[in-house]
Every structure is written in C-alpha cells, then in structure tokens.
Structure 1
Amino acid sequence: MAKGFQASRQWERINELWVTEDAAADLTGFKSDRRNFNIALWDPTANGVRYLRALVYELATRLSDDEWSKIENVHNRDVGDPVTVRYEGKSICLDYLQAALELGFIERELTLDGARVLEIGAGYGRTCHAMLSNYDLDSYTIVDLKNTLSLSRAYLREVLDDKQFAKMRFIQVEDEDIDAALGSDRFELCVNVHSFTEMTPDTVQAYLRLIDDRCEAFFVKNPVGKFRDKAMDGHQKGEEAVRLAMETGPLRQVLDIHDSEAVDAAVPAFIEAYRPGAGWACTADARGVPWSYFRQAVFRKTSSRKAA
C-alpha cells in the first residue's frame, strides 16, 4: 500500500479487535454488533447519553415558538444537572421538552388558568413545575409514595417561588386515607404521566374511581402495552425487575413497541383501560412523543354527579 493511503492507528486497532479478517465469514447479526458499530453506528450500549442528546436536539428543531415559550417560562430547569443540549442559544432537556408538548396537548382541550389540579404519581415534579410556571392555577395536589413524595417536595421547594409553592399540597399514600385527606376537594383536572403502568391493576382501578368521583377532566400518558426485548437494555435491572414490571398496569399485553401497526392496534384498549367511568368521553388522543408506544389522552366528564 502506498504510504499516503495507509490505515490510521485508530483503524488499525479497530481491524485488530472488531472488524477482523473473519468479520465477513458470517453475516449473522453483524448490523447489531461491534462490526457495524465500528463502521457505521455508535454502540448504543456505550453511547446512551450521545443518543439521548441526539434525540433531544432533533426534537428541539421541531418545537414551535409557543412550545419554546412554555419551556422558557419554567425557571430553574437546571436544578439537578439534567442532560441538556443547546439549540439556538437555549438550553433544553428531554423532561421539560415533553412537558411543553403535554401542556400544549392539554390546553387545546381545557382551560387551565384557575384550575385545581390533582397529580397521581408526580416523579420529581417536572409536570407540576411546568404547569405552575405557565398557568395561574388555583392549587396543585400531589398524591405519591413516601420516598418519591420527599423528592418532589424537595425539588419543587427549590425551583418554585414562594407564591407558587404555597399552592402545593402533598399527600402520602402509605400513611393517609386518600379520600379522607382530600376532604371535600374537587378538581378540574387530574394528571397521570407514566405511573399507572407501574401500579397494580387494583390500585389503578381505585384511582380511576377517585378521578370519577372528584375530577372533571383527566390527562393520562402511559404505554399501550409491555415489551420483553432484552436487546434494548440487557435487562440490566435483573430478571426479577422484568417479572415485576410484567405484573403491573392495566395493560399487560406484550407487543413489538417499534411496530406502528402493533402499537396502533393496542390504542382502543388503552382508551378503555383509562376511561375513569361510564360518564366520561375521550376528547383527544395522540402518540406520546417521542416514545413509539406511549399514548396520551384527555378524558372529560359528560355527566356530573354531586359528591356524597
């Protein structure tokens, strides 16, 4: 080989370790192993953050001015050192990008200013943070497990101003009768984002009855089913975690979450599973971007019933 056309030291190493002389002997699986990862793709097992940032960047290019405004209205988004990208001078992470999309979806169906909001399973509180930062809510109540509630309380105390935080109420599942703790409170909106799928079916039904009794509208964003594809994460949390995950949620059918027809076929069951009661109508539903198998929906009560 002419001296000017020799392999770099980087590629000499790649040829020695991964794209070897035997690489072409058996093409089985080569597009999903180190051979192709060193030729055309970044190895997803070692480049998760790179792919996450690529996803956030691509989604950021598609945001409307209104969606950017919703994100920029949320102050202190950098608390906790999120994985971010900068797009046209603005910092964005996946959590608040999703929150902006969710708020846009909800507000097309409901008026949020002045609303009393109940959230079941708030995570660290990003939905609450975004909602209080974009609308003049009357109140925001979170119902959650003890440890997660401690996290959301600490986070929201850090990121919200005093006026916003004064609208908060936290109810711990383990130590309180939720109905008794709520007293006579009623809500214009209940929110559940990716937590009903992690509860027992009986618990989900209990919460849906609570929503039916106390709320006028319900926004839900959850998976339409389960998956068992070990290639996606190597089941790194262990087989016990996989088994437990398969037991939770109202929708436990296993499907190919990257097959649009399989996902679409599961949507009617999703709508019925999350309808709070017979007197409720689904007024809007759509894919829960960016995830292929997440669905979001707004339900509204069509027949009112006085609280007992």
Structure 2
Amino acid sequence: MDQIFQASRQWERIQNRFITEDAAVDLTNLKSDPRNYKLSLWDPTTNGVRYLKTLTYHLGMLLSPEERERIRRTPNREIGDPITVRCEGESLCLDYLQATFEVGFIERGMDLSGARILEIGAGYGRTCHMIMSNHDISGYRIVDLKNTLELSKAYLRRALDEAQFKLIEFIPVDSLDRDALKSERFDLCINIHSMTEMSPDTVRAYLELIDETCSAFYVKNPVGKYIDQSLDGYLQGQEAVQMALENGPLRQLVDIHDSQAVQAAVPAFIDGYRPGDAWECVGDSRALPWSYLWQALYRKPPTASTR
C-alpha cells in the first residue's frame, strides 16, 4: 500500500483560513485567538470566557502536588497571552493543565530520562515544552504540517532555552521520508488530538511507522465522532462538520454526553490506535476534562522491540 502522509481536507481548510503562512510572525494573543482555537479543543467565543475560567479554576484547585510542581517547573507559559486563573498563587491556563495531566500519565508508564521522542502533530508545542522542562531527554522530533510547524518552532524558540531548543528537529510532513526514518529509533511517540483529523490511510501509515521505529506510544484522541449542533450551532458550516466526520480511525457516532456510551467505545479506541499486534496497552483512562477524549499508553514487548 502506498504510504499517504498528507493533510486531510479538514486540515487543508484550517491551514488556509486560520493557521496561515503568517501565523508564526506575531505570537501576541496566540493562545486566545482562532489560531489556538483550531489547535486546541475549546473556543470561548462560543461558550464564554466565564465558563472557560470556571473550568480552569476547578481543575487548578484539584491538582495534586506532583501535577502542580510539573507546571511550576515549566517557565514562560505566559507567551501568547493565555486566558488564566490563579490557584494557590500559580497562574494556570487550560492548555498547561492538560499538559501536566498528559505528561503525568506518560510518567506513570515509563521513564522519560534520556528518552528520544517523536511527536506527530504538536500544535504550538505545549507538551514538548512541559516534557523538556521536566526531563533531560536526548532528542525530540516534531512532524507536522508546514504552517503549524512554523508556529511550534516560533513558540518553542521563545519558551525553551537554547540548549533545549537545539534538541528539537522540526520535520514538515511533505518532506517526511519514511525510509529514512526506518533507521531511527524512538523511545516514545506522542499523538494528541490530531490522528482523529487525518484521513484513515494517513493514520494507518503513521501507525505502521510507529510500529517500525518506536518502543512506546502515547495517544489522546476522541473515542469516536459526534453530531451535536447545540454545542456551537455549526459555526463553521455543514462542510466543516462533514470533513470532521470523514477523518480518523474511529468514525462511529458516539453520544459524548453519555458516560456509558463513551465507556462502551473504549475497546474500539484501544484497538484502533494500537500500532501493531505485538503492542500491549499498559494503561488507559479518560483524558480530563473532556467527556469523550481517551488516552492510552502502548508498549512494544522486548521480544518484538525495534531496538
């Protein structure tokens, strides 16, 4: 099968309308304008800043000491003017609250010291920023679409120190050489809410690449698709909804406001994101604060390892 590493129609539209070639020129208001709304999972222009801050405050007050310290060790979080609250003296935004939950989940399943990491679709780079601020890793590669890659490069150049930034290699999707990467070995691959927005063939190609080159895989994506016009009134139009429904490995409709329906979809999620038959899911759980996002960590047994 030909390997297809390319943007879906959904993301071609997003790149043309929101994350344009000029997106990385000025980071002012990055985290509170449409660039980040398309990279993240929330848009307070439709739901209200009041509700976003309420959610952020609630999560911030529930942080464990370890989760709070992970955030405190991550400097320069104010870049891009995030929408914040203050909990126990710490300025918090929803993005880095999610990042501390994500990194904490990974840490419970593996040791990140000295790890070589591959991230497929890094957004503006929040997870990379937190990992590199809390762990001494040996290298970090980010694969992404051209415009989004320029955005993460601009953000991480400001957020990290020079030595940390030099550990990152930014790889545009259109220059991704599968054969060249076959010789690479990564301790961990990360995908957070982007495989659900790729064509099914592209997802399969990435999972095969992960199977060939990685020892562990962390994924955080929806358990399925949903149709609920009450959430935003289909603000971007019916075409955008249709584009979203045709992408990802899991395209069955799920009632995301029904905990039992979400739970029933979990086995398909675990199977759908498994990189290969030999891979074992060593942990999974709901990904706070979202009702319909799930996270899982897979490991490749030593006998089947690429090492």
**Which band: TM-score by shorter chain?**
0.7 to 0.9
1:63 aligns with 2:63: yes
Please tell me whether the aligned partners of residues 257 and 291 of structure 2 are also in contact (alpha carbons under 8 angstroms).
Answer: yes
Q: RCO (CA 8 Å, sep 6+): is it higher in 1 or 2?
A: 2
Shift of 1:77: 0.3
Q: Quote how far apart the aligned CAs of 1:175 are.
A: 2.9
Tell me the secondary structure at the aligned position of residue 99 of structure 2: helix
Please give the TM-score of this superposition, normalised by the length of structure 1.
0.83
Code of the aligned partner of 1:187: F
Summarize deviations over 1:77-125 as a string: whole Å, max 9, x none. 0000011101121100011111111111111110001000000000000
1:155: Cα distance to partner?
Answer: 0.6
Assess if the C-alpha contact under 8 Å between 1:198 and 1:248 holds in 2: yes
Structure 2, unpaired ranges of 5+? 1-43
Hey, what does 1:294 align to over in structure 2? 293
For 1:222, the equivalent position in structure 2 comes to: 221
Instruction: Give distance in 2, aligned partners of 1:158 and 1:179.
Output: 32
State the alpha-carbon separation in 1 of the partners of residues 105 and 118 from structure 2: 17
Taking the TM superposition and a 5 Å limit, the aligned residue runs for 1:1-308 are: 48-180=48-180, 182=181, 184-305=183-304
TM-aligned CA distance change 1:304 to 1:145, over 3 Å: farther
Q: CA 1:76–1:178 in 2, change beyond 3 Å: closer, same or farther?
A: farther
Report SS of the residue matched to 1:233. coil
Q: Distance in 2 between matches of 1:284 and 1:58?
A: 25
Cα displacement (A) at 1:49: 1.0
Counterpart position of 2:13: none
Q: How many residues align?
A: 264
Which amino acid letter does the alignment assign opposite residue 79 of structure 1? I
Q: Which moved more, 1:46-55 or 1:213-222?
A: 46-55
Structure 1 runs (4+) deviating above 3 angstroms are: 44-47, 303-308
Which amino acid is 2:161 matched to?
A: D
Aligned equivalents of 2:135, 2:281: Cα separation in 1 = 23
Tell me how far 1:47 sits from its aligned partner.
5.2
| SS of the residue 2:175 aligns to | coil
2:154 counterpart letter in structure 1? A
Q: Is the CA contact (8 Å cut-off) linking 1:116 and 1:138 kept in structure 2?
A: yes
Which amino acid is the alignment partner of residue 48 of structure 1? G
- What's the CA shift for 1:176? 3.4
Give, as a single letter, the amino acid of the residue that structure 1 aligns with 2:190.
V
**Distance of aligned partners of 1:183 and 1:267 in 2 relative to their CA distance in 1, 3 Å threshold:** closer
Q: How far off is 1:64 after superposition? A: 0.7
